[in-house]
Amino acid sequence: MRRPDQLRSRALLGVLAALGVGLGAAWLMHLALGRQGVLGFGVTNPTGLAEGAVFVVVFVMALRAVRALLRLPSSTLLSFGAATPAAAASAARPVPSVDAEALVQTMADHRQVVVIEGGRPVGIAGVHPERLLGWDEVVKVDGRVALSELRPVLAREPLVVVLDGDGVAGIVTQESYLSTSWGRGA
Protein backbone atom coordinates (compact mmCIF):
# COMPACT_ATOMS: atom_id res chain seq x y z
CA MET A 1 0.00 0.00 0.00
CA ARG A 2 1.23 3.44 -0.93
CA ARG A 3 1.74 6.54 1.19
CA PRO A 4 0.46 10.00 0.18
CA ASP A 5 3.95 11.17 -0.81
CA GLN A 6 4.29 8.21 -3.18
CA LEU A 7 0.93 9.05 -4.76
CA ARG A 8 2.07 12.67 -5.15
CA SER A 9 5.22 11.78 -7.07
CA ARG A 10 3.43 9.23 -9.27
CA ALA A 11 0.70 11.74 -10.12
CA LEU A 12 3.24 14.38 -11.12
CA LEU A 13 5.17 11.94 -13.32
CA GLY A 14 1.92 10.60 -14.79
CA VAL A 15 0.61 14.03 -15.76
CA LEU A 16 3.94 14.99 -17.26
CA ALA A 17 3.98 11.76 -19.27
CA ALA A 18 0.42 12.37 -20.50
CA LEU A 19 1.36 15.93 -21.43
CA GLY A 20 4.36 14.64 -23.38
CA VAL A 21 2.21 12.10 -25.24
CA GLY A 22 -0.36 14.77 -26.09
CA LEU A 23 2.26 17.22 -27.31
CA GLY A 24 3.97 14.49 -29.30
CA ALA A 25 0.72 13.55 -31.02
CA ALA A 26 0.01 17.21 -31.82
CA TRP A 27 3.53 17.60 -33.21
CA LEU A 28 3.11 14.51 -35.42
CA MET A 29 -0.20 15.95 -36.65
CA HIS A 30 1.58 19.25 -37.37
CA LEU A 31 4.21 17.44 -39.43
CA ALA A 32 1.62 15.29 -41.22
CA LEU A 33 -0.35 18.39 -42.28
CA GLY A 34 2.70 20.03 -43.84
CA ARG A 35 3.47 22.38 -40.95
CA GLN A 36 0.50 24.53 -41.85
CA GLY A 37 -1.21 24.52 -38.49
CA VAL A 38 -1.06 27.64 -36.34
CA LEU A 39 -3.14 27.58 -33.21
CA GLY A 40 -2.47 30.81 -31.41
CA PHE A 41 -3.91 34.13 -30.38
CA GLY A 42 -2.99 35.98 -33.55
CA VAL A 43 -3.89 33.52 -36.28
CA THR A 44 -6.26 30.59 -36.07
CA ASN A 45 -6.78 28.23 -38.97
CA PRO A 46 -8.57 24.88 -39.43
CA THR A 47 -5.30 22.95 -39.48
CA GLY A 48 -4.29 24.52 -36.19
CA LEU A 49 -7.67 23.69 -34.68
CA ALA A 50 -7.22 20.07 -35.79
CA GLU A 51 -3.81 19.97 -34.06
CA GLY A 52 -5.34 21.41 -30.90
CA ALA A 53 -8.16 18.88 -30.98
CA VAL A 54 -5.66 16.03 -31.41
CA PHE A 55 -3.71 17.31 -28.40
CA VAL A 56 -6.81 17.51 -26.20
CA VAL A 57 -8.13 14.08 -27.18
CA VAL A 58 -4.77 12.31 -26.83
CA PHE A 59 -3.96 14.12 -23.56
CA VAL A 60 -7.30 13.13 -21.99
CA MET A 61 -6.92 9.53 -23.16
CA ALA A 62 -3.39 9.43 -21.74
CA LEU A 63 -4.61 10.84 -18.41
CA ARG A 64 -7.28 8.15 -18.21
CA ALA A 65 -4.70 5.47 -19.00
CA VAL A 66 -2.29 6.83 -16.36
CA ARG A 67 -5.06 6.96 -13.77
CA ALA A 68 -6.06 3.36 -14.44
CA LEU A 69 -2.51 2.05 -14.73
CA LEU A 70 -1.23 3.73 -11.57
CA ARG A 71 -4.55 3.50 -9.66
CA LEU A 72 -4.48 7.17 -8.74
CA PRO A 73 -7.37 9.23 -7.36
CA SER A 74 -8.57 11.68 -10.01
CA SER A 75 -8.12 14.67 -7.72
CA THR A 76 -4.48 13.75 -7.10
CA LEU A 77 -3.79 13.25 -10.79
CA LEU A 78 -5.52 16.41 -11.99
CA SER A 79 -3.83 18.56 -9.36
CA PHE A 80 -0.38 17.29 -10.44
CA GLY A 81 -0.08 15.64 -7.03
CA ALA A 82 -0.90 18.73 -4.96
CA ALA A 83 -4.14 17.25 -3.61
CA THR A 84 -3.25 13.92 -2.06
CA PRO A 85 -5.47 11.75 0.10
CA ALA A 86 -4.98 11.87 3.84
CA ALA A 87 -3.12 9.16 5.71
CA ALA A 88 -5.13 6.26 7.12
CA ALA A 89 -4.34 7.41 10.66
CA SER A 90 -6.47 10.52 10.07
CA ALA A 91 -9.59 8.39 9.60
CA ALA A 92 -8.77 5.86 12.31
CA ARG A 93 -11.28 5.94 15.13
CA PRO A 94 -9.71 5.17 18.51
CA VAL A 95 -10.77 1.81 19.85
CA PRO A 96 -10.24 0.60 23.43
CA SER A 97 -7.97 -2.36 24.07
CA VAL A 98 -9.08 -4.48 27.03
CA ASP A 99 -8.30 -7.80 28.62
CA ALA A 100 -10.78 -10.57 27.96
CA GLU A 101 -12.18 -10.26 31.50
CA ALA A 102 -13.26 -6.63 31.01
CA LEU A 103 -14.78 -7.22 27.60
CA VAL A 104 -18.45 -7.31 28.56
CA GLN A 105 -18.32 -4.05 30.51
CA THR A 106 -16.39 -2.25 27.78
CA MET A 107 -18.69 -3.53 25.01
CA ALA A 108 -21.56 -1.71 26.69
CA ASP A 109 -19.85 1.62 25.88
CA HIS A 110 -18.13 0.89 22.52
CA ARG A 111 -19.11 -0.73 19.22
CA GLN A 112 -15.75 -2.47 18.67
CA VAL A 113 -13.08 -3.44 21.17
CA VAL A 114 -9.61 -4.90 20.69
CA VAL A 115 -9.34 -7.95 22.97
CA ILE A 116 -5.96 -8.56 24.58
CA GLU A 117 -4.69 -11.69 26.29
CA GLY A 118 -1.21 -11.88 27.73
CA GLY A 119 -0.37 -8.38 26.48
CA ARG A 120 -1.02 -9.30 22.82
CA PRO A 121 -4.12 -8.61 20.71
CA VAL A 122 -6.12 -11.75 19.98
CA GLY A 123 -9.09 -10.28 18.13
CA ILE A 124 -11.78 -7.65 17.81
CA ALA A 125 -15.17 -7.94 19.46
CA GLY A 126 -18.23 -6.22 18.06
CA VAL A 127 -17.68 -6.91 14.37
CA HIS A 128 -19.71 -10.12 14.29
CA PRO A 129 -22.45 -10.54 16.90
CA GLU A 130 -21.87 -14.27 17.34
CA ARG A 131 -18.07 -14.45 17.58
CA LEU A 132 -14.77 -12.70 18.13
CA LEU A 133 -13.00 -11.71 14.91
CA GLY A 134 -9.55 -13.28 15.23
CA TRP A 135 -6.48 -11.05 15.00
CA ASP A 136 -5.20 -13.09 12.06
CA GLU A 137 -8.48 -12.44 10.18
CA VAL A 138 -8.20 -8.66 10.51
CA VAL A 139 -6.58 -6.54 7.79
CA LYS A 140 -3.89 -4.37 9.35
CA VAL A 141 -2.15 -1.35 7.78
CA ASP A 142 0.44 1.19 8.82
CA GLY A 143 -1.01 4.57 9.77
CA ARG A 144 1.06 6.32 7.07
CA VAL A 145 -0.74 4.50 4.24
CA ALA A 146 -2.86 6.75 2.01
CA LEU A 147 -6.53 6.58 2.92
CA SER A 148 -7.50 6.00 -0.73
CA GLU A 149 -5.57 2.71 -0.65
CA LEU A 150 -8.13 1.32 1.82
CA ARG A 151 -11.06 1.59 -0.61
CA PRO A 152 -10.65 -1.85 -2.25
CA VAL A 153 -10.03 -3.48 1.14
CA LEU A 154 -13.08 -1.89 2.75
CA ALA A 155 -15.22 -2.99 -0.18
CA ARG A 156 -14.89 -6.58 1.08
CA GLU A 157 -13.94 -6.19 4.76
CA PRO A 158 -15.97 -4.49 7.53
CA LEU A 159 -12.96 -2.69 9.00
CA VAL A 160 -9.20 -2.18 8.85
CA VAL A 161 -6.96 -1.92 11.90
CA VAL A 162 -4.53 1.00 11.69
CA LEU A 163 -1.24 0.36 13.45
CA ASP A 164 1.12 2.89 14.96
CA GLY A 165 4.34 0.94 15.26
CA ASP A 166 3.47 -2.11 17.36
CA GLY A 167 0.35 -0.56 18.89
CA VAL A 168 -3.16 -0.07 17.58
CA ALA A 169 -3.86 3.53 16.55
CA GLY A 170 -7.51 2.78 15.79
CA ILE A 171 -9.81 1.26 13.22
CA VAL A 172 -11.22 2.50 9.95
CA THR A 173 -14.70 1.24 9.21
CA GLN A 174 -16.56 1.65 5.95
CA GLU A 175 -18.56 4.43 7.60
CA SER A 176 -15.51 6.36 8.88
CA TYR A 177 -13.77 5.95 5.50
CA LEU A 178 -16.71 7.47 3.66
CA SER A 179 -17.16 10.31 6.12
CA THR A 180 -13.46 11.22 5.95
CA SER A 181 -13.37 10.86 2.15
CA TRP A 182 -16.36 13.18 1.83
CA GLY A 183 -14.70 15.77 4.07
CA ARG A 184 -16.73 15.49 7.25
CA GLY A 185 -13.94 14.13 9.44
CA ALA A 186 -13.79 10.83 11.28
**What pLDDT does 42 receive?**
63
pLDDT of residue 129 exceeding 60, the answer is: yes
Q: How far is residue 156's CA from residue 152's CA, in Å, rounded to a whole number?
A: 7
**What pLDDT does 37 receive?**
75
The pTM for the full model equals 0.70
Q: How far is residue 108's CA from residue 105's CA, in Å, rounded to a whole number?
A: 6
**What pLDDT does 107 receive?**
60
In this structure, what is the dihedral angle of CA atoms 51, 57, 63, 67, given to the nearest 10 degrees?
-160
Name 186's Cβ contacts closer than 8 Å, sequence gap at least 6. 90, 91, 92, 93, 176, 179, 180
**What pLDDT does 185 receive?**
46
Q: Could you give the domains of the chain?
A: 4-78 (no CATH), 88-181 (3.10.580.10)
Q: How far is residue 29's CA from residue 121's CA, in Å, rounded to a whole number?
A: 63
pLDDT-based confidence at residue 75 (cuts at 50, 70, 90): confident
Q: Which of 128, 129, 123 is nearest to 100 (CA)?
A: 123
The overall average pLDDT reported for the chain is 84
pLDDT-based confidence at residue 18 (cuts at 50, 70, 90): very high
CA count, 13 A, side-chain hemisphere, 130 = 0
Region of poorest pLDDT, from 23-27, 109-113, 140-144: 109-113
Phi, psi dihedrals of residue 124, rounded to the nearest 5°? -125, 125
pLDDT of residue 78 exceeding 50, the answer is: yes
- In three-state secondary structure terms, 84 is coil
Cβ count near 16 (within 10 Å): 12
Mean pLDDT of 80-98: 83
pLDDT of residue 10 exceeding 90, the answer is: yes
**What pLDDT does 14 receive?**
95
Cβ count near 46 (within 10 Å): 10
**What pLDDT does 69 receive?**
95
Q: Which of 139, 113, 134 is nearest to 125 (CA)?
A: 113
